[in-house]
């Protein structure tokens, strides 16, 4: 009997470890994505689109419009990668079954795509364009605070003090990494309120996305959930935002058709693969360790991005990387060493969701 209890605890520990591993994969792949993600800006047709709009509407507008086209192509290559992934896993039939459950399930992934796509990504680029790159990075690092708060109150998920402390230490680590750039951005005198709004959009967008996706993931498989979320994002970019930009007079279609250059296509494919599987891992972590922990560890992308860009592109980071990296490791250890049996169920016993469930069960008897 004692042996059974030990094996039972081992199983839970293994489940929690898989969840953390998934969140770590997400952080590594998210960091890797910054290599193709940054390279796209200097490749045709995106650099030419940016130059053309800068000449007519200024640099900040050019940045946002180019960001829309890059994000749209990024979403397109992500959905191709995810379709191949689901095809390989033999999940198309389950996907068809899930799509048909629009009201019970798929609507959450479409909603998540609005928050994680146009709101968070555009917000991040707006913050970059109107305040600075370091400010945009720091603002985005705040998203687990929103995500874990929402998952606590709305989904009724457990967030222990220890997990919250780990999240806060990782965020402080991220702040330290970008500290020098952040000071430059905030004291340059060119920052505008639109940029700060963009920062809030990024933090809230990704935070809310996690909580909303968590609701859909309750009753569906993560591989399918993430594919539906990107299906939604593609619809938003290609059927709503790109046509609106074209109607507004921006030459987005002209440049979009010039994307078929071998180097650009290769870099777009790399972006699609890294971003797609980063999201697969992110969504797979939520049902196993909860939205707050998944997002907290996912936040380690801040350090991986700087390290990968240094290794592959040669941009030497500030010395604060060491301090930030140390804090990120401490924050992760605080979370990894949490007693896993406490996570047997991610749902709080006193959560509003549970209380409501109990009330409704009592009412029906």
Partner 1 sequence: MTNRPIKFRILEVYMDGREHWNDEVVGKLQKEYGMTTGYGRDSINFDIIELAAGGMLKEVDVRAASPTLYGKNALLHSYLLTDFGRSRATEIGICRGG
Which positions lie near partner 1, rule CB under 8 A? Answer: 4, 7-8, 10-11, 15, 90, 94, 97-98, 100-101, 104-105, 156, 217-221, 287-288, 343-347, 353-354, 356-358, 360-361
Residue closer to partner 1 by CB (options 311, 341) is: 341
**Smallest gap from residue 4 Cβ to partner 1 (A):** 6
SS3 189: coil
Q: Which residues of 145-178 are buried (b: 16+ CB within 10 A; e: fewer)?
A: bbbbebbbebbbbbbbeebbebbbbbbbbbbbbb
Cβ nearer to partner 1, comparing 104 with 190:
104
Q: Please state the closest distance from residue 359 (CB atom) to partner 1, in A.
A: 9
**Minimum distance from CB of 213 to partner 1 (Å)?**
13
Note whether 76 and 89 are within 8 A (CB): no
Residue 276 near residue 82 (C-beta atoms within 8 A):
yes
Could you identify the residue written with the tokens 């074209």?
246
CB contact at 8 A, 40 and 264? yes
> Can you state the percent helix, strand and coil of the chain, rounding each to 5?
85, 0, 15
Closest distance of CB 340 from partner 1, Å: 11
CB of 103 to partner 1, least distance (A): 8
Minimum CB separation of residue 303 from partner 1 in Å reads: 28
Phi-psi region of 220 (alpha: psi -120 to 50; beta: other; left: phi over 0): beta
Closest approach of partner 1 to the CB of residue 275, in Å: 24
Alpha carbons 149 and 242: distance in angstroms, whole number: 33
Q: Indicate the residue among 187 and 345 with the shorter CB distance to partner 1.
A: 345
As measured in angstroms, the least distance from the Cβ of 364 to partner 1 is 8
SS (H, E, C) 59-98: HHHHHHHHHHHHHHHHHHHHHHHHHHHHHHHCCHHHHHHH
**Would you say 101 or 261 has its CB closer to partner 1?**
101
Q: How far is the CB of 233 from partner 1 (least distance, A)?
A: 21
Whichever of 10 and 315 has its CB closer to partner 1, that residue is 10
CB neighbour list of residue 232: distance below 8 Å, 6 or more residues apart: 109, 110, 111, 112, 113, 114, 117
**Cα 296 from Cα 289, distance rounded (Å):** 11
Q: Nearest CA to 126 among 114, 113, 115, 139?
A: 139
Nearer residue to partner 1 within complex by CB, 53 or 155: 155
**What does the block give as tokens for 272?**
């699609």
Residue whose CB is less far from partner 1, 74 or 227: 227
The answer to whether the beta carbons of residues 303 and 242 sit under 8 Å apart is: no
């Amino acid at each position: 009997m004692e042996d059974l209890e030990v094996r039972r605890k081992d199983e839970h520990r293994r489940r929690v470890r898989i969840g953390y591993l998934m969140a770590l994969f997400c952080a590594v792949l998210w960091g890797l994505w910054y290599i193709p993600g940054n390279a796209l800006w200097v490749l045709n047709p995106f650099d030419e689109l940016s130059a053309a709009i800068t000449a007519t509407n200024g640099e900040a507008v050019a940045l946002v419009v180019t960001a829309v086209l890059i994000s749209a192509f990024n979403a397109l290559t992500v959905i191709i990668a995810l379709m191949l992934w689901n095809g390989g896993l033999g999940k198309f039939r389950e996907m068809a079954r899930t799509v048909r459950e629009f009201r019970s399930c798929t609507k959450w992934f479409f909603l998540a795509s609005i928050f994680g796509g146009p709101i968070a990504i555009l917000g991040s680029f707006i913050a970059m364009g109107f305040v600075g790159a370091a400010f945009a990075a720091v603002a985005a690092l705040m998203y687990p605070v929103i995500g874990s708060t929402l998952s606590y109150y709305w989904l009724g998920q457990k967030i222990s003090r220890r997990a919250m402390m780990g999240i806060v230490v990782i965020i402080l680590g991220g702040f330290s990494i970008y500290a020098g750039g952040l000071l430059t951005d905030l004291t340059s005198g060119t920052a505008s309120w639109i940029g700060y709004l963009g920062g809030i959009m990024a933090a809230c967008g990704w935070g809310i996305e996690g909580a909303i996706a968590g609701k859909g993931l309750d009753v569906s498989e993560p591989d399918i959930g993430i594919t539906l979320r990107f299906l939604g994002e593609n619809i938003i970019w290609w059927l709503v935002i790109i046509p609106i930009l074209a109607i507004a007079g921006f030459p987005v279609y002209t440049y979009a058709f010039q994307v078929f250059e071998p180097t650009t296509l290769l870099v777009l494919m790399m972006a699609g693969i890294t971003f797609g599987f980063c999201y697969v891992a992110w969504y797979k972590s939520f049902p196993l360790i909860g939205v707050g922990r998944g997002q907290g560890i996912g936040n380690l992308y801040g350090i991986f991005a700087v390290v990968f860009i240094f290794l592959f592109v040669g941009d030497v980071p500030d010395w604060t990387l060491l301090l930030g990296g140390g804090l990120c490791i401490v924050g992760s250890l605080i979370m990894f060493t949490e007693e896993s049996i406490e996570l047997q169920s991610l749902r709080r016993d006193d959560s509003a969701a549970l209380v409501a469930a109990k009330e409704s069960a009592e009412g029906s008897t």
